[in-house]
Amino acid sequence: MSDDDYVYDEDSGEWVPASELAQRREAASRIEVRDAVGNLLADGDQVTLIKDLDVKGAGQTLKRGTLIKSIALTGDPQEIDCKFDGIRGLVLRAEFVRKR
């Protein structure tokens, strides 16, 4: 769509350029995932644990300071998908990690 095309935005009740409306909707659909300190997390980031965590089903404890490489966002603002040696399908809460 070009900027010459105007569409009615029902949320604001205004006529806006179609490209601007598309940008607004895209920004609203993005989920922000923040770590324990408030840093914005993204796919591929490295994080460290800020607390010892017992991993259910693995019989293992991840110690504070453990480095987790290459995280993936799940679509839930509180959870991140991680890969760690010996543990498959590890999902951590964002409140227990800090961006490195």
- Kindly list the structural domains of the chain, giving each domain's residue range(s) and its CATH number in brackets, ordered by start: 1-30 (no CATH), 33-99 (2.30.30.40)
Threshold 0.75, pTM exceeds: no
Mean predicted lDDT score pLDDT of the chain: 89
pLDDT band at 25 (very low <50, low <70, confident <90, very high): confident
What CA–CA distance (Å, rounded) separates 6 from 64?
Answer: 53
pLDDT band at 33 (very low <50, low <70, confident <90, very high): very high
The percent of residues in the chain predicted with pLDDT above 90, rounded, is: 59
Average pLDDT over residues 17-39: 87
pLDDT band at 1 (very low <50, low <70, confident <90, very high): very low
Closest CA to 86 of 58, 49, 54: 58
